[in-house]
Structure 1
Amino acid sequence: MDFSTKKQLHIAVFPWLAYGHIVPFLRVSQFLAQKGHRIYYVSTPKNISRLPKLPPNLSSSISFVPLSLPQVDGLPPGVESTSELPIRKVPFLKKAYDMLETQLADFFRRSPQIKVIIHDFCPYWLPPVAVQFGVNLVYFSILSASTIAFFSSPSDMLDKKRVSPEDFTVVPMWMDYPNNIAFKLHEIAGHRECEDTVTDLERHETLLLNCKIMTMRTCYELEPEALRVLSRIHQKPIVPLGLLPPSLSIIEDTRDENWEALKKWLDSKQEKSTFYVALGSEVNLSLELMHELAYGIEKSELPFIWVVRKPHSIEQQSVENMIPPGFEERVSNRGLVLRGWAPQLKILAHSSIGGFLTHCGWSSVIESLGVGKPLILFPVGSSDLGLVARLMHGKKVGLEIERNDVDGSFTSDSVAMSIKRVMVDPDGEQFRANARVMKEIFGNIQLSDNYLNEFTRKLEII
C-alpha cells in the first residue's frame, strides 16, 4: 500500500465566540490546510469578519461557514462575542450559541464529506448530532493541561464531590505531583457570574467523555506531569498541539499607524528598563481597584506603558475616570498611558521592555515568555486566569501580586513591590533568568510545528 497518497480529510472547526478562541482555532485550521486537508471554519458572520486575512495559498482550502446567531432575551442586538459584553451577560451569549445546534446539523446534512469536527468547550449538545451524521469529535481546548487536569477527573464528574466554592481552592488529589494549582475564593465567585444553567464544567465533561481525541495548547516540555495525569485519568488519546506561538514576522495590522511614535518612545528607554501593563480585552476592574493599581504603578518609580481598555457599558466609568486625577501628569516623564488597542506583541518584543504586568490570559503569557519577558502576575477576571498565575508562579517565571484570598483586594504597595522585584531587585533575578530560558520553549515555532504534525497524523488515522 502506498502511504504517500494520503486521503484528504474534510474537517469542520467550531470555536467558542471569544476572540481568544477563534484565533487559535484559525491557526490550527491553517496548519491542517497546509497539510492538504479541507477545512470548514464555522462561526458567526461578525467573528468571521474579524479574522486576519488568509494567505493566498490557503484561500481555496479553508471555507468560512457563517451561522446566524439567534436573538436571545438579554443579549444586546448585534453582539456576537464575549469582548462586547460585561461578564454577567455572557450566559445570554451561551444560550444563543446553544441555539446554533439546528443550523450546524443542517450544515452536516448538506456536507456528508465531513467526518471530523474540532470543537471547543461549549457545545455540550454536539455528541448526539455528531453520532447522527457519523462525525468524530476532536476536543481542542485553548487552555493549559494544568487547567484541564484541575477541572476534570472522571470520578469527580460522576460523584460531584466538589460542590462549594471552597472545594475549588485546594489542589485536587488526582494532581499527584508538587504543584499549587487551585483557585482563590474571590476567583471562584467571579467565575460563577458567567455561568449559564448548564455550567462550563458540565459542558467540558460531556464533550471530554464523548471525544475521540483531546487536544490543548501546551507541550510536554512545559507540563509533563499534567499531561501524564490527563492520560491516566481519561484513558484516551491526549495530544498536545504545542503552544502556537505567534510569529512576529507575520504580524500585520492596519491599526499599527501609531507604532512608529510608540517605537520612538521605547527606543529612548534603556534596555529592559520598562514594564508593560495590559489586562486583556475582557477584564473590568472596579474604579477603586483600578486606582489602587495605578498608585502601585506610580510607586514603582519605573518606566511603563499601560494599555487601558474602554469599559464595556455606560453604567461603568469612562476611560478617563479609570485613571486617578493627575496621575498622567505626575508620571509623564517616565510613563505612557494608551487608550484602546495596542500592538502588544511588538511592544513585548522591544528590547527596552523588561517585564509584563498581565491579567494572566494564556495567550498573553505565551506572547510574553515567547520573547523571554518575565511576568508580574495579576489574575483579574474569570475563567482559568488564577490557575495560569499559579502555574507560572510555580515555574518561577513570574511573581503574583499579593491579594486577599476572599475579596481579592490588594494594596498599591504590594503592586509596587512585585513590579520592582521582577524588574530590578537582585532577588528577582531568578524570574528574569527563567523567563529567558522559557523563550526556548514558548517562542519555538519549530517545536510547536512538530506537535501540530503529530496532531495531524492522529487525525489522519482517527
Structure 2
Amino acid sequence: MGKSIIKSQDLQFLFDPRTALKASVFFSLKKILKAMDDRKEKLHIAMFPWLAYGHIMPFLQVSKFLAQKGHRISYISTPKNISRLPKLPPNDLSSSNITFIELPFPQNIDGLPPGAESTGEIPVHKVPYLKKAYDMLQYPLTEFLKTSDVNWIIHDFAPHWLPGIATPLGINLIFYSIFNATLFTFLGPPSALLGDYRRSRPEDFTQVPEWIDYPSETAYKLYEMVNHYECMDEDVSDFQRIGLIVQGCQFVILRSSFEFEPDEIRLLAKLYQKPVVPIGLLPPSLISSNQLVKTDEKWEGIKKWLDNKGDKSVFYVALGSEVTLSQEFMHELAFGMEKSNLPFIWVVRNRPLVLEGQKGQDMIPPGFEERVPDRGLVLRDWAPQLQILAHSSVGGFLTHCGWSSIIEALSFGRALILFSGASSDQGLNARLLHSKKVGLEIERNEVDGSFTSDLVAETIRKVMVEPEGEPLRANAWAMREIFGNEEMNNKSLEEFTRFIQEFAP
C-alpha cells in the first residue's frame, strides 16, 4: 500500500528522556502504523466523469483499479449513463468496493432533446445544452457529498463549480484528463485559459503557442476549431472550465505516459505549477472484451472474413460514435477507400438525431457495396473494434483520431491513416501522431475540411503497402511496447495509487 508517512509529533514520545524504550512504546508505534494503514485502505473516492461514453469508460477503468486496492469508490453519473456501463463480475473484488450513485438528470432543459443524457445522443450544436444540464448536477451532488465521508473526488474537465463545493467540505480534488498532455500544453496555463492570453477566435488556435519550449508543429486547423466552438457553452467556455478546474484541484492525472510524451508532461507541470501524474495509457483488456463477444454471431462472421485475408492486408475504418460527416464527405471518403484497391472493413454509424433523418445506410454511395463485394465489408452501427484491430489480417486503421481509438490501435501496432474528426483533441492528435511517424494524415482544406478521394486513396496506399510507408509501419509496430505494455501501464497506476495515499495537501 506504499510507505507509511510518520509525522514528527506522532513519534515525539520516543525522544522524551523520561521515557524508557520499553515494549509498550513499540506497541504504541505499531498501533500508529496500523491506524495509518487502515486509513489508507479506507479512502473513499468519488468519480465524476463528463457525460460522454468516451469519458465514463476510462473513469470506470481507474475506479476498478483503485477498488481492487481496497479503496471505496462512489461512481457518480446519471441513470442512463450508469445503465450503459458493463456489469462488473460478482466475484471481482472491485465489484464489492464500487457503489454507483445516480444523480437525477435535469428535466426540461431548453434545446436538449428529451431523454438525451450523453453526447452520443445529440448533434454537436446541442452539446452546449448538455453542459447546462451537467452544471445543474451540482445541487444533488452537493447533498450527496455533505452526507458522505468522501476524501477525494476524481473529476473531469467540465464541473468548473466543483472546487467551490468540495473545498469547504475538506474534500481533495484530482482533475483526471482522459486526453493526453499534448492537448493541455497547447491550451496553456490557467492564466491563458481564463483570458490573459489573446486567443478569443478560432483563428487564434491555428498557431503553436509561445510557451511550447520543445520542437512542435502541433496546432489546430481552422475548420476544427470552428467545429469545436459549436459545442461550447456561451456562458462558460471549455477553456474557462479547464482553467478553473486546474486552479481548484490538488493535482492532475493524465491518460498518458512519460515514455510517449516526456517533454509535454514536463512542460505541463511547469505551466500548472502543481503535480501532473501520468497514470498510463489504460489499454483495454482483450481478454475481457473477448468474454463479451465470444458468442456474438456478428464477430464470428467478421472473423471468418478476416481469416481469408493476407497478413496485415486489411485496413479498418471507424470514425467513432460521435463524429458526423456530411453525405458529401462520407461519399468522398468511400470513393477513396474504393480507389485504394485494398481490402477494408468500414463501420458506418446510424445516428438519425445527428443526421437529421438520414440513416447511416444513406451515407453510403449508391452501388458501393455491390462494387466491392469481396474486398469490402461494411458494418452498420456497432463492431467489435478491439477484436478487429487484434486480428493479424489488419494492418492499418483509418481513424477519427480519438485518443481511445488511437490507444487501441497502437496497442496492437497498427499503422494509422489519420482523418481528424474535427472535435475536441482530435486535430491535435492527428498532428502529433503524424509528427511521431506512426501514421499519415489525409490532406484536407484548412478552412472547410474538404478533401478528395484521390488523396484518401493515395494516403491509404502509402500507409498500407507503398515502400515509403515502411518506416511508418515499423514505428507503429514498435509502439506496442508502450501502448500495449500492460505491466508498464499498471506500474503507472500503482504509482498514482501510492501518490494519493501519501499526499498531504
Q: Do both proteins adopt the same fold according to a TM-score greater than 0.5, normalized to the shorter chain?
A: yes
Match of 2:472 among 431, 434, 437: 431
* RMSD after superposition: 1.2
Which position in structure 1 is the counterpart of 2:170?
A: 134
Which position in structure 2 is the counterpart of 1:116?
A: 152
Q: Does 1:240 align with 2:281?
A: no
Mapped partners of 1:316, 1:150: distance in 2: 37
Which position in structure 2 is the counterpart of 1:296?
A: 336
Which position in structure 1 is the counterpart of 2:380?
A: 339
For residues 69-88 of structure 1, what are the structure 2 equivalents within 5 Å? 69-71=105-107, 72-88=109-125
Which position in structure 2 is the counterpart of 1:32?
A: 66
Mean Cα deviation higher: 309-318 or 338-347:
309-318
Cα deviation digits, residues 121-165 of structure 1 (max 9, x gap): 000010110012111110001000001111122342351311222
Mapped partners of 1:151, 1:396: distance in 2: 23
Q: Is the contact between residue 65 and residue 94 of structure 2 (CA under 8 Å) also seen in structure 1?
A: no
Q: Is the contact between residue 173 and residue 251 of structure 2 (CA under 8 Å) also seen in structure 1?
A: yes
Which position in structure 1 is the counterpart of 2:161?
A: 125
Cα deviation digits, residues 358-385 of structure 1 (max 9, x gap): 0000000000000010100000231110
Mapped partners of 1:154, 1:279: distance in 2: 32
Cα deviation digits, residues 54-84 of structure 1 (max 9, x gap): 1332221000000011021111111111001
Which position in structure 2 is the counterpart of 1:321?
A: 362
Mean Cα deviation higher: 288-297 or 313-322:
313-322
Which position in structure 1 is the counterpart of 2:24?
A: none
Mapped partners of 1:443, 1:405: distance in 2: 33
**Letter of the aligned partner of 2:75 in structure 1?**
Y
Q: Does 1:403 align with 2:444?
A: yes
Which position in structure 2 is the counterpart of 1:217?
A: 255
Which position in structure 2 is the counterpart of 1:67?
A: 103
Mapped partners of 2:38, 2:501: distance in 1: 8
Match of 2:306 among 241, 266, 269: 266
**Letter of the aligned partner of 1:398 in structure 2?**
G
SS in 2 for 1:221: coil
Which position in structure 2 is the counterpart of 1:13?
A: 47
Which position in structure 2 is the counterpart of 1:53?
A: 87
Q: Is the contact between residue 352 and residue 360 of structure 2 (CA under 8 Å) also seen in structure 1?
A: no
Cα deviation digits, residues 79-102 of structure 1 (max 9, x gap): 111001111111111111000011
Mapped partners of 2:368, 2:472: distance in 1: 29
**Letter of the aligned partner of 2:197 in structure 1?**
K
Match of 1:384 among 425, 438, 447: 425
SS in 1 for 2:479: helix
Taking a change above 3 Å as real, the CA distance of residues 13 and 423 of structure 1, as seen in their structure-2 partners, is: same
Mapped partners of 2:296, 2:340: distance in 1: 29
Q: Does 1:202 align with 2:240?
A: yes
Q: 1:316, CA displacement in angstroms?
A: 4.2
Match of 1:415 among 456, 471, 485: 456
Which position in structure 2 is the counterpart of 1:101?
A: 138
* Number of residue pairs aligned between Structure 1 and Structure 2: 461
Mean Cα deviation higher: 311-320 or 12-21:
311-320
Mean Cα deviation higher: 2-11 or 168-177:
2-11
Mapped partners of 1:411, 1:61: distance in 2: 52
SS in 1 for 2:296: helix
Gaps of 5+ in 1: none
SS in 2 for 1:406: coil
**Letter of the aligned partner of 1:388 in structure 2?**
N
Cα deviation digits, residues 378-429 of structure 1 (max 9, x gap): 0023111000101111110000000011110000011000100000000000
Q: Does 1:257 align with 2:294?
A: no
SS in 2 for 1:243: coil
Which position in structure 1 is the counterpart of 2:14?
A: none
Mapped partners of 2:103, 2:233: distance in 1: 21
Cα deviation digits, residues 90-120 of structure 1 (max 9, x gap): 1111111000011000001110x11110000
SS in 2 for 1:118: strand
Mapped partners of 1:439, 1:209: distance in 2: 35
**Letter of the aligned partner of 2:189 in structure 1?**
S
Mapped partners of 1:125, 1:256: distance in 2: 43
Larger Cα-atom Rg = 2
Mapped partners of 1:311, 1:119: distance in 2: 28
Q: Is the contact between residue 190 and residue 242 of structure 2 (CA under 8 Å) also seen in structure 1?
A: no
Cα deviation digits, residues 297-353 of structure 1 (max 9, x gap): 000000000000003426242222201111111111210100010000000000000
**Letter of the aligned partner of 2:143 in structure 1?**
D
> Structure 1 vs Structure 2: percent identity of aligned residues?
60
Gaps of 5+ in 2: 1-28
Match of 2:214 among 144, 158, 177: 177
Mapped partners of 2:200, 2:121: distance in 1: 30
Cα deviation digits, residues 253-282 of structure 1 (max 9, x gap): 368331111100000000000000000000
Mapped partners of 1:120, 1:6: distance in 2: 28
Which position in structure 1 is the counterpart of 2:15?
A: none
Q: Is the contact between residue 287 and residue 317 of structure 1 (CA under 8 Å) also seen in structure 2?
A: no
Match of 2:203 among 162, 166, 185: 166
SS in 2 for 1:60: helix
Which position in structure 2 is the counterpart of 1:309?
A: 349
**Letter of the aligned partner of 1:143 in structure 2?**
F
**Letter of the aligned partner of 1:253 in structure 2?**
L
Which position in structure 1 is the counterpart of 2:327?
A: 287
**Letter of the aligned partner of 2:133 in structure 1?**
A
Taking a change above 3 Å as real, the CA distance of residues 200 and 312 of structure 1, as seen in their structure-2 partners, is: farther
Q: 1:461, CA displacement in angstroms?
A: 2.0
Q: 1:6, CA displacement in angstroms?
A: 4.5
Q: Does 1:372 align with 2:413?
A: yes
Q: Is the contact between residue 284 and residue 381 of structure 1 (CA under 8 Å) also seen in structure 2?
A: no
Mapped partners of 1:295, 1:180: distance in 2: 30
TM-score normalised by L of structure 1: 0.98
SS in 2 for 1:170: coil
Taking a change above 3 Å as real, the CA distance of residues 51 and 86 of structure 1, as seen in their structure-2 partners, is: same
Mapped partners of 1:171, 1:141: distance in 2: 21
Q: Does 1:275 align with 2:315?
A: yes
Q: Is the contact between residue 440 and residue 459 of structure 2 (CA under 8 Å) also seen in structure 1?
A: yes
**Letter of the aligned partner of 1:137 in structure 2?**
L
Q: Is the contact between residue 152 and residue 205 of structure 1 (CA under 8 Å) also seen in structure 2?
A: no
